[in-house]
Amino acid sequence: MTPELFALTLAALLQVAQMALYSVLAQRQVGRDYAVSPRDEGRELSGLAARAQRAMNNHFEGLILFTIAVVVVTYSDQGGSGSALCALTYLVARVLYVPAYLYGWAPWRSLIWAVGLLATVLMLLGALL
């Protein structure tokens, strides 16, 4: 397995962990009965549950672009130390992004997000060159 695919696999597992964290925090807030219901009536989350949901959704968005970058690098056989470093950087940034979002580390949260996005963009640009 290439380093880029390894990072993508870990990023997907991070997404699963974020989904689980969000689920636990949201269920604590809305209660078990509502959580297992059809949820026809919406409920607004707040605090850590809302932040966990936003961090999870943000990673879904970033994971799409990162997946595209890994696929492009892998299928074009453009992998190397640069793309491996970018993949690792993306993964570390996304791991750090979770507590940064949960605990409101401003402005670090935004900077961590930008590092992850930049790593993804550099992978894409590197595959084009």
pLDDT digits (tens, 9 = 90+) for 52-61: 999 999 999 9
Total structural domains within the chain: 1
| CATH number, position 102 | 1.20.120.550
User: Rounded CA gap, 97 and 62, in Å?
Assistant: 11
* CA-based nearest residue to 59, from 20, 98, 5: 98
Given a cut of 80, whether residue 30 has pLDDT beyond it is no
Write out the residue range of the structural domain in which residue 53 sits: 3-39+46-128
User: Rounded CA gap, 114 and 67, in Å?
Assistant: 17
Q: What's the whole-model pTM score? A: 0.92
* CA-based nearest residue to 62, from 94, 30, 106: 94
Given a cut of 90, whether residue 89 has pLDDT beyond it is yes
Mean per-residue pLDDT over the chain, rounded: 94
Given a cut of 70, whether residue 37 has pLDDT beyond it is no
